Amino acid sequence: MLEVVFTKGKIGAEAVRIVGCAEKTKPGLASLSKDEREAVLKALRQAKFEGKSGQFVEVLGGRSKIIVAGVGKNPDALALQKLGGSLAKRLFRDSVGCYMVEELKGCRLDAKRIACEIAFGLMLGSYRFDKYFTKKKAEEYPALEQMIFKLPDAVDAAEDFKNYAALANAVRYGRDLCNEPANYLTPQVFADDIERLKYLGLEIEILEKNELREKGFGLLLGVAQGSVNEPRVAVLQWKGKSEQEDFDIALVGKGVTFDSGGISLKPGAGMGDMKGDMTGAAVVAASLKALALQAAPVNAVGIVGLVENMPSGSAIRPGDILTSLSGQTVEVLNTDAEGRLVLGDCLTYVQEQYKVRKIIDIATLTGATMRALGSEYAGLFGNDDKLAAELIKAGEESGENLWRLPVNKAYDKMIDSPVADMKNLGGANAGGSTAACFLQRFVKDGVKWAHLDIAGVDRLEKGTELCPKGATAFGIRLLNAYLRH
């Protein structure tokens, strides 16, 4: 994999040198020779270079190739990440790149931060999921092996970068899980994969089908009963503050490895995307991985419900009534509203087993939220204004944006059932809010709770600088920003 190196020394002639340039500033070219400087200035004039984000000028000749990269006006951390991501594409055929950190003017961040953000973007932007191609040609693989960051004297970025690299690794891990097809990533394979995270010092417990039955995970088992692939529940603990017994946070993830809709079968078009209905679980597992890699001073417990939702002779039917782990009963009116069932039991279990006063759940839960917010924002629901505001802020910081939507008594009333404590369907409208109200019925009094509905942001139809087409694993960066501040 791509190696990131920080240096203050001389740069070899094999490296492509990159100079960032903010809009309305002049590029810093002090590190270039006089001839190179003249060639660059001429090329910039010819290209009418303004420093706009995404504008690049490549200058050949001289000692080696030089790239001047526009970063837009007053570039912030996200703009620098974006630059890093686009460099991954620009340098596809080059083996070594060198970003001249000292030359960027018009950016309020210090040199250390600039280097880290660009390198972080590079690690995200260079992500590919290509393991299933058997006939890939050598030239389709990136040649870029090393990216050097040339820092001013007295600046050392390597220590800071460890946390960025840990997070980038976690995001890549999360995307890998989400991009896997459902025939490979069954609940059992997913659980086995999570179990391997033990090597990082995470405590991991896997509950198998008979244990789930003994304990009474009635909702989760109801969803799973149509599939030949057995369900699993995985619990991951990171104790970054060993002297403290309580958990600062519980993360709960929806891990439906494939959502066919069950007997309430989904239409065929786009059904393949439902291999990504386990994104919430991948985000939870990857978030705990990130905390462990960062040795973060946080106590966090994660729980994921891993099931496959399939139609068959043994599947649950519309009209069935299930008894949840909490004891509350649920009339299942649509077997495609399965995520809330899986999460309901996981919410109960984590509150019964662990001392938690704050919960964030994350799930590709409703098409309604996707239609409301598109791919710009994930939906945020919850019972605590402070937690919601902090999450929105973490979203802005990380570029994973949240928009708050309501939960209230009126929406809650819409899930009352005439034959059971509740039904798993609301009315025709406000599907995101009624789903959230369903989850809230499994949150104990006094517990602060936020629910992130990531249907709509879990995958990209078209790639961006920081993520190719396919799984985004949306939420890992946001949760990491929230948990570490």
In the shown chain, the binding pattern of residues 309 to 348 toward ligand BES, with x for contact by CB under 6 A and - for none, equals -------------------------x-xxxx---------
- Alpha-carbon gap, residue 257 to 259, rounded angstroms: 7
Question: Is residue 366 part of the contact set for ligand BES (CB under 6 A)?
Answer: yes
Question: Is residue 230 part of the contact set for Zn ion (CB under 5 A)?
Answer: no
Interaction partner, residue 425 (ligand BES, Zn ion, none; CB < 5-8 Å by kind): ligand BES
Question: Is residue 259 part of the contact set for Zn ion (CB under 5 A)?
Answer: yes
Rounded least distance, CB 335 to ligand BES, Å? 8
Question: Is residue 336 part of the contact set for Zn ion (CB under 5 A)?
Answer: yes
Length of the chain: 485
Question: Is residue 296 part of the contact set for ligand BES (CB under 6 A)?
Answer: no
Residue 108 designated active-site? no
Interaction partner, residue 465 (ligand BES, Zn ion, none; CB < 5-8 Å by kind): none
Q: Which two tokens stand for residue 313?
A: 């002779």
Rounded least distance, CB 159 to Zn ion, Å? 42
Catalytic residue among 112, 340, 448, 477: 340
Question: 369 φ, ψ to 5°?
Answer: -65, -40
Catalytic residue among 128, 162, 266, 404: 266
Interaction partner, residue 370 (ligand BES, Zn ion, none; CB < 5-8 Å by kind): ligand BES
Question: Is residue 176 part of the contact set for ligand BES (CB under 6 A)?
Answer: no
Nearer residue to ligand BES within complex by CB, 299 or 366 = 366
Stretch that binds Zn ion, among 169-177, 188-196, 209-217, 333-341 (CB under 5 A): 333-341
- Alpha-carbon gap, residue 467 to 474, rounded angstroms: 10
Q: Which two tokens stand for residue 121?
A: 């973007």
Residues 249-268 that bind ligand BES (CB under 6 A): 259
Question: Is residue 277 part of the contact set for ligand BES (CB under 6 A)?
Answer: yes
Question: Is residue 370 part of the contact set for ligand BES (CB under 6 A)?
Answer: yes
Asked if 300 contacts 291 with a C-beta cutoff of 8 angstroms, the reply is yes
Closest CA to 7 of 25, 29, 27, 31: 31
In the shown chain, the binding pattern of residues 103 to 122 toward ligand BES, with x for contact by CB under 6 A and - for none, equals --------------------
Rounded least distance, CB 309 to Zn ion, Å? 6
Q: Which two tokens stand for residue 268?
A: 């065929």
Question: Is residue 44 part of the contact set for ligand BES (CB under 6 A)?
Answer: no
3-state secondary structure of 471: strand
Residue 65 designated active-site? no
Question: Is residue 255 part of the contact set for Zn ion (CB under 5 A)?
Answer: no
Q: Where are the alpha helices (DSSP H) in 322-384?
A: 339-353, 367-373
Nearer residue to ligand BES within complex by CB, 62 or 367 = 367
Closest CA to 433 of 479, 373, 483: 373
Q: Which two tokens stand for residue 423?
A: 């039904």
Identified binder of ligand BES from the candidate list 62, 216, 367, 463, rule CB under 6 A: 367
Q: Which residues are catalytic?
A: 266, 340
Q: Which residues bind ligand BES (CB under 6 A)?
A: 259, 277, 334, 336-339, 364-368, 370, 425, 431, 455
